[in-house]
Amino acid sequence: MLKRTSTSLQPKRKFGGSLLSTVHNTNGTNSRATNRINHHVGCLFSNPSVGFHSTMGINSSSSSNISTTTTSSNTTTTSSKRTSNNNNIQSINIGNINLYSSTSVQEGEQTIEQELLIPNYSLFGEDVSQLDQQKDILSHLKWMAMKDKMKQDMFLIGHYGELKRHLAFTYCQLARRSVEYVCITKDTSEHDFKQRREIETGSAFYVDQAAVRAAKNGSVLILEGIEKADLNILPILNNLMENREMALESGTMLISPQRYKQLIEEEGKTPEELKLMKIEPVHEDFRIIAMGLPVPYYDGNTLDPPLRSRFNARVIDLPSMESIFSSLVNHRTNDQVLSFLSNEQKKSLFLSLIQFTQSIVHLDNMLMNSKDAVNTNSKTGSIELLPRFPIDNLKNLIEMLNDYRSIFASSVENVESLIHTLYPFELFMSREKDKSEDEKLEQNKMIEIIKEQLKECSTKIHEIISQDFSPASSSDQKQELIGNLLSQAKATHFKDIGFVLIEKHRQVLTEMMRSHLCGKDMCLIGGKGSGKSLISHAFASMVGYKAVVFPMYKEMTSKDLLQKRGTDSAGNTIWKNSVLIDSMIDGSLCILDGIDRMSTDILLSIQTLIQDRVLYLFNGNRYVSHEYYDKFLSQGFTKEELSSKGIYRIHEDFRIIAIGLNDSLKWLSLELFNLFHFHTVPKLSIEEEVDLLSSRVGADASSQNLINALIRIKNDYNNTEFNQDQRLISMRDLIRIVKRSMIFKDECILTAIERTTMTYLLPKHHLELLRKLAIKYKVSHNQNTPTDKPVHIEKTDTHIQMDDIKVPINLNANLLLVPKPYFVQTEQHAIVMKAMLKDHLIGDHSLLIGYQGVGKNKITDQFLNLLQCEREYMQLHRDITIASLTVQPSVVDGVLTYIDSPLVKAVRHGRILVLDEIDKAPLEVVSILKSLVEDGNMVLGDGRTIVTMKEYQKRKQQNDPHLHKLLPIMKGFRIIALSNPPTFPFHGNSFYDASGDIFSNHYVSNPRGDSEIKLLQSYGPDVPLLIIKKLSGAFDDLRLAVEEGVIQYPYSTRELVHIVKHLQAFPNEATLQDALANVFDFDSFDRETLEFLAKVFQKHEIPVSFNNIGE
């Protein structure tokens, strides 16, 4: 593990940061704002961090001045001799509004629990003096203090970003108010606000949730993401807000403190009597601070009028230029960041950054103020706004300029690249692929304007940091560290995971390391098969992290992401942590694989974790950053006490890498844009792809011509316009093809490419293109001297042999689990089984695609029978879910238990899993197989995680505390998936297009000619051979008609077998007409099809007449 102990290498995570200010006027306003900044520059640079004062305030003419009164003695609580958070502050006032006064808090009034709920981090940490330079922030805080004094609930409305949340927490810190926090998502329910039913030792009881806890204890309930709430869920708070009343599921009635006092004073009730009556008061200090985005500028639900009318609203505009400048000046003052620059140079650098960000804001204001904006969503009314440059990323930019000066002083292009990493505007603006020409033109104009501004800003920054720069006397410690780590990993760890370090991937890893050393989480974006997952694992191995893959999926909820309900062995209800929470505790690298598949608001449920390293969980526990946790310890709390109050440390090494596809970036919302440092996996050149493929397969010189040809075929095929709607050839496909050709000398390369692209199912011009490319690059059917001889299959007591491939059979198999099908071997079926045997030998998983009734199940069962492999079978369908794919919940003796699905059983016992009709399952469900097939990793519904045997042994040696949650993949586990073509008239999903490249694909066709006749004779030995031949010939013509698009229904061998079996069973009673009716009566209402059928059967001298019932 890379330990960051020295000050120079310690990643810095500053709480706070926000989005940039909005400028509503022209450059004149910018100029005036710049002059105001210049007015304050001298005092900022001469004394950037003032600290606490006995009296402190800004200009007395300001309407919002802040003052603190301090004392030299420590403030203590009587319940425990611990120092208070602001141990030298007696009172805090904004103007004439008192936020906090130690004299107003009576001894013993605040319990330890309440004290621990007071945030001791905020937008400004504990250095309240920085508020002196943040007049806009002071104004907001004063308004909040006024509303608090008036006992009113508040609604902070404004642009996306963490500023609203940080204001709420800052106010609560300054006012010494305890906090309950709820991040609202589409799956937030009534039980997340009020009470949740729990079971313990056979008894049911209710546990208060955030809103009720806040109401009883006088905390501030902070609600974030109001616009994301499902309709009609928030009105449950209406009466609590209006009358401070709420009826709870437990039978308890919360009433206002005034009414509670009246019952005691005027009606003679005692608190004990009221408690027996289940009547409790709402604390008089209870408040709600809600936060939301303006709808319809943003997507979401508008506020319900009864709810809206109960709030007092405040627009939280983006910080002013002066505030941004002050924030940059005060960033990492203790580390003397940019100490090689003079104050005047720093000022010039900061102003250049701010002016660039203001140019973006100016463009955005033009969009927002335009009534006829071309980027307005006609359905929701939302406007596609430009992303703002997050202040946290501006601070990170300054850190990187300081830490890697030699890199960015060497060229303007390096500075541009850095800004692109921290502000990837082109990535965001390329989200919508189906724009009109006007929209594309408008977008291109904006991109060019931003590029021009970025170029100007980069040039200024480069000029500043390159002044007086001497490469000979410069030493970037962190850059040297990154270089050393890459060199060490290339020699050791990268080989273990099969990672090839090409130059573009080296650059991606270098940029990821810079983000990591800034303490930031990352998002890795790239095309399908571009190596995103492998790069993530390479980063983990380079830094020394334990990488934990957490696959995302469409139906995922916030509880799946964080904590799920369950029961223990005694039947008690418990919360089970997800692998994300386990990683957060252990300090692992959690890879969120496939965030493009999940709902955006679900990912936003962890925005406090990503931005602030603070997380409030459903069970009431709170995880805080190591700095935050250490503050508690410094105040005298012990770890045991903190644990008993539900407060835990987030490991300082914990990081998140989110992985998403760039094929469609609609998932990349403005809010997500603010969470991560984004790194794009670049598209490789042909030469780089050749080098990568050669290294991945360990190819020698004899295979270079083949690899060069395959890379060029891939690029030419994928870039052809009419192929864009089809599954394209990926690097995964080529790796599989080359590996097979190196191991099996009879492998036909062109056939392998045709199987990969499934051109058998596409219009003829796709196959023609592929064969032209094969000729062009000298890849033909004779590439590896394939033979036209029938496949010879021989089975002995110990081995199965197909041609020259000999494999031992499983002599220890449970024969009850080995299928024993009735199977008539045909030439086509034997070819498919031989290809499947090759998959089995090299560890590939197989996907069999073919029309109905061609024998996919029969081939699979016979293949397993020959190898004597145990089978687990799953029939997939529309309603299958991620949970039911892995485990099936069941209640046994009152205890919720999970029964392993066939998938888990196959993993545990090393069996073959047959997934039938995989195209019928939702794509979001079966796409989760990618992590299992590619990475050997899958998270189960009961909290366990499937891992490779190698990973399991590694964790076992490390004494992993979560070893009991790991399920190793046993030797012999394979998946054989069966699917119909992704075309009409089949009703399935396009699984092949979405995930086909993780399998070795095989096309199963109907037996042709003598093979089909032989098969039919086995079912109808007494049926005249002439009839069978005529039927087979007729069906051949029908299949050809399907390929040519004349008819739609693909008549298969299964229908032919039905006809022959009918003739065999009733030779004296059934006529050929009757037997054919069993199949073709489905077409009785289709006149055109019947006419075509009649012609085909007449051609083959089959006497039959069809009645058109539809006429």
- Round to whole Å and give the CA distance between 421 and 425: 9
Of the three residues 1003, 1030, 1061, the one that is the final residue of a domain is 1003
Give the per-residue pLDDT at 475: 66
Distance of CA 898 to CAs 567, 813, 883, Å?
Answer: 10, 26, 10
The pLDDT tens digits for 126-140 are 455 666 667 888 899
> Do β-strands 655-661 and 589-593 pair in parallel, antiparallel, or remain unpaired?
parallel
Name the nearest CA neighbour of 672 among 225, 357, 169, 297. Answer: 225
Name the nearest CA neighbour of 998 among 934, 1057, 910. Answer: 934
Name the nearest CA neighbour of 678 among 669, 687, 689, 686. Answer: 669
Same-domain status, 847 and 986:
yes
Q: What percent of the chain has pLDDT over 90?
A: 45
- Round to whole Å and give the CA distance between 328 and 349: 10
Q: Is 705 contained in some domain?
A: yes
Name the nearest CA neighbour of 416 among 403, 395, 401, 431. Answer: 401
- Round to whole Å and give the CA distance between 1031 and 1062: 13
Q: For residue 647, what pLDDT band results from cuts at 50, 70 and 90? A: very high
Same-domain status, 209 and 119:
yes
Residue 543: CATH number of its domain: 3.40.50.300
- Round to whole Å and give the CA distance between 920 and 880: 9
Q: Is 722 contained in some domain?
A: yes
Same-domain status, 841 and 742:
no
Kindly give, in sequence order, each residue whose CB lies less than 8 Å from that of residue 830, ignoring residues fewer than 6 positions away. Answer: 790, 791, 793, 802
Give the residue-averaged pLDDT of 932-942.
86
Per DSSP, what are the bridge partners of residue 46?
none
**DSSP letter assigned to residue 302:** P
Same-domain status, 772 and 847:
no
Helix pair 343-369, 27-46: axis angle to 10 deg: 150
Phi-psi category of 346—alpha, beta or left, where left has phi over 0 and alpha has psi -120 to 50?
alpha
- Round to whole Å and give the CA distance between 192 and 617: 10
Per DSSP, what are the bridge partners of residue 888?
899
Looking at the chain, how many residues does it have? 1111
Q: For residue 943, what pLDDT band results from cuts at 50, 70 and 90? A: confident
Same-domain status, 874 and 992:
yes
Same-domain status, 823 and 725:
no
- Round to whole Å and give the CA distance between 1079 and 1093: 12
Same-domain status, 485 and 458:
no
Name the nearest CA neighbour of 662 among 745, 564, 594, 581. Answer: 594
Give the per-residue pLDDT at 786: 46
Encoding tokens for residue 732? 């995964």
Q: For residue 35, what pLDDT band results from cuts at 50, 70 and 90? A: low
Phi, psi (deg, nearest 5) at residue 846? -110, 145
Give the residue-averaged pLDDT of 238-248.
93
Three-state SS annotation for 727-779: CCCCHHHHHHHHHHHHHCCCCCHHHHHHHHHCHHHCCHHHHHHHHHHHHHCCC
Helices vs. strands in the chain: H and E counts, helices first: 46, 36
Name the nearest CA neighbour of 420 among 782, 198, 679, 92. Answer: 679
Q: Is 253 contained in some domain?
A: no
- Round to whole Å and give the CA distance between 333 and 335: 5
Residue 486: pLDDT above 80?
yes
Is the N-terminal amide bond of 985 cis, ω within 30° of 0?
yes
Phi, psi (deg, nearest 5) at residue 656? -120, 135
Same-domain status, 357 and 469:
yes
Q: Is 31 exposed, middle or buried (0-12, 13-18, 19+ CB in 10 A)?
A: exposed
Of the three residues 475, 493, 520, the one that is the final residue of a domain is 475
Same-domain status, 238 and 298:
yes
Structural domain for 982, as ranges? 793-1003
> Do β-strands 589-593 and 547-551 pair in parallel, antiparallel, or remain unpaired?
parallel
Give the residue-averaged pLDDT of 420-447.
81
Residue 36: pLDDT above 60?
no
Same-domain status, 211 and 340:
no
Spell 418-427 as b/e; 16+ CB within 10 A means b. bbbbbbbbeb
Q: Is 782 contained in some domain?
A: no
Mean pLDDT estimate for the chain: 84
Range from 758-762, 895-899, 933-937, 990-994 carrying the lowest mean pLDDT: 895-899
Q: For residue 89, what pLDDT band results from cuts at 50, 70 and 90? A: low
Same-domain status, 214 and 299:
yes
Give the three-state DSSP class for 1043.
Answer: helix
CA neighbours within 13 Å on the CB side: how many for 1038? 27
- pLDDT: which is higher, 827 or 337: 827
CB 1046 within 8 A of CB 1053: no
Q: Is 968 contained in some domain?
A: yes
AA identity, residue 595? I
Kindly give, in sequence order, each residue whose CB lies less than 8 Å from that of residue 107, ignoring residues fewer than 6 positions away. Answer: 77, 78
Q: Is 250 contained in some domain?
A: no
Give the residue-averaged pLDDT of 321-343.
80
Q: Which of 44-53, 500-509, 698-707 has the highest mean pLDDT?
A: 500-509
Give the residue-averaged pLDDT of 828-849.
94
Which long-range CB contacts under 8 A does 1030-1034 form with residues at least 24 apart? 1030/1100, 1030/1101, 1030/1102, 1031/1056, 1031/1059, 1031/1060, 1031/1100, 1031/1102, 1032/1056, 1033/1100, 1034/1096, 1034/1097, 1034/1099, 1034/1100, 1034/1102
CA neighbours within 13 Å on the CB side: how many for 873? 12
Give the three-state DSSP class for 806.
Answer: strand
Kindly give, in sequence order, each residue whose CB lies less than 8 Å from that of residue 547, ignoring residues fewer than 6 positions away. Answer: 536, 537, 540, 541, 588, 589, 591
Name the domain count of the chain.
6
- pLDDT: which is higher, 378 or 681: 681
Residue 588: pLDDT above 60?
yes
Residue 143: pLDDT above 90?
yes
Name the nearest CA neighbour of 1048 among 983, 1001, 968, 1094. Answer: 983
Residue 335: pLDDT above 80?
no
Of the three residues 1003, 1028, 1055, the one that is the final residue of a domain is 1003
- Round to whole Å and give the CA distance between 991 and 967: 27
Name the nearest CA neighbour of 598 among 928, 225, 880, 941. Answer: 928
Q: Is 607 contained in some domain?
A: no
Encoding tokens for residue 686? 């042909």
- Angle subtended at Cα 724 by Cα 720 and Cα 730, rounded to the nearest 5 degrees: 85
Q: Is 1083 contained in some domain?
A: yes
Per DSSP, what are the bridge partners of residue 69?
91
Residue 587: pLDDT above 80?
yes
CB 185 within 8 A of CB 601: yes
Residue 3: pLDDT above 80?
no
Q: For residue 67, what pLDDT band results from cuts at 50, 70 and 90? A: low
- Round to whole Å and give the CA distance between 339 and 348: 14
Give the residue-averaged pLDDT of 675-699.
91
Same-domain status, 201 and 343:
no
The pLDDT tens digits for 160-208 are 888 999 999 999 988 889 999 999 999 999 999 999 999 888 889 999 9
Helix pair 437-466, 412-422: axis angle to 10 deg: 130
